[in-house]
Amino acid sequence: MAQTLSRPQNLREWFAVALVWGAAALVTAVFCWLLGDIVWHGLSHISWTFLTAPPENAGRRGGIGPILVSTCLILGVCLTVSLPIGIGTAVLLAEFTSDHSLFGRITRRSLDVLAGVPSIVFGLFGNAFFCKTLGLGFSILSGGLTLACMVLPILIRSTEEGFRAVPTSYRLSTAALGLSRTTTIVHILLPAAVPGLLVGLVLGVGRAIAETAALIFTSGYVDRMPESLLDSGRALSIHIFDLSMNVSGGDANAYASALVLVILLLAINGTASWLATYGLQRKAVTV
């Protein structure tokens, strides 16, 4: 016979369920409100012209064409630099250093600290090092490199976790077949570690694309179409910040730009999770 709950137990159970659901509902509601507000105010301003035209009158009118281009270029620089360094370091940490080695411990600890450093600090560092010391000035290159520094800790740690999640049996069986370590890493471990890499990439790119503080000091404010990576370029988040804080009457375009940013973020997230579940799985099977 099924045991029936006594009344107080029943009440406690009910309360616990309500608490859990309530918390989840609260979080979802905040997100929906935020998103709803942006869509409500922004959607009507979005058009093809808005996405391609240059901003006019300090951004009150016109579009965000050059700003989108700058944002993508900054992101491109950031990924080009951070992916190889990130994967390389993750391989070193996961495959070539033991958990207890001094080098591994120090590196991991520094990465964890770096991951929590406020972005404004990265911005000041980028300004001092890339803009001034290396003489790159306010440029897309400086901005992208600064973002790379910011993204790397997250990317490395989660890729490392991805490598560690690959069963040891793969390493033993490749070694037992007389395969070299490089072969094992490239052909077996890397494809298997891709989900971890993607998680890090999504978190990192999410942080990078939404970044304002680190870019204000490095890639600058200029809202013209960039002609090279050494040109200053305004990122989307800076544009939103500028329109809503410094430009009176820029609210409508700020909302529209924010909506574009959110859509970009969702698209990146969606692509990555699709890749993790379908695209790369198939690839891992057929390589």
Partner 1 sequence: MTPVEPITGPRARHPLEERSVCQGPQSLIEIDRLSLYYVDKPAFQDVTLSINKGCITALVGPSGCGKTSFLTCLNRLTDLIAGCRVSGRIMIDDLDVMAPDTDVIQLRRRIGMIFQKPNPFPLTIRRNLVFPLREHGLRDRGQIAQTIETTLRDVGLWDEVKDRLDSPALALSGGQQQRLCIARALALLPEVLLMDEPCSALDPLSSGVVEDLIVSLRSRYTILIVTHNLTQARRIADHAALFWVQNGAGRLIEVGTAKQIFEEPRDPLTAAYVSGMRG
Per CB under 8 A, does 265 bind partner 1?
no
Q: Which is nearer to partner 1, 134 or 287 (by Cβ)?
A: 287
Query: Which of 41, 45, 164, 171 touches partner 1 by CB under 8 A?
Result: 171
Per CB under 8 A, does 2 bind partner 1?
no
Q: Which is nearer to partner 1, 124 or 192 (by Cβ)?
A: 192
Q: How many residues does the chain have?
A: 287
Beta bridge partners of 62: 55
φ/ψ (deg, to 5) at 61:
-120, 175
Stretches 137-145, 168-176, 242-250, 270-278: which one binds partner 1 (CB under 8 A)?
168-176
**Contact criterion met (CB below 8 Å) for 63 and 53:** yes
Per CB under 8 A, does 213 bind partner 1?
no
Per CB under 8 A, does 14 bind partner 1?
no
Query: Which of 41, 45, 164, 187 touches partner 1 by CB under 8 A?
Result: 187
Q: Which is nearer to partner 1, 7 or 100 (by Cβ)?
A: 100
One-character DSSP codes across 224-282: SPPSSTTS----HHHHHHHHHHT-TT-HHHHHHHHHHHHHHHHHHHHHHHHIIIIIHHH
Looking at residue 5, the DSSP 8-state letter turns out to be P
The amino acid at 265: L
Q: Which is nearer to partner 1, 21 or 170 (by Cβ)?
A: 170
The amino acid at 29: A
Per CB under 8 A, does 284 bind partner 1?
yes
* 34 alpha-carbon distance from chain centroid: 20
Query: Which of 51, 53, 85, 192 touches partner 1 by CB under 8 A?
Result: 192
**Contact criterion met (CB below 8 Å) for 36 and 207:** no
Per CB under 8 A, does 177 bind partner 1?
yes
Q: What is the CA radius of gyration of the chain?
A: 23
Angle formed by the axes of helices 190-209 and 140-165, nearest 10°: 140
Q: Which is nearer to partner 1, 67 or 188 (by Cβ)?
A: 188
Per CB under 8 A, does 178 bind partner 1?
yes
Per CB under 8 A, does 180 bind partner 1?
yes
Binding mask 80-99 for partner 1 (x = CB under 8 A): ------------------x-
Question: Which residues contact partner 1 by CB under 8 A?
Answer: 98, 167, 169-180, 183, 187-188, 191-192, 284-287
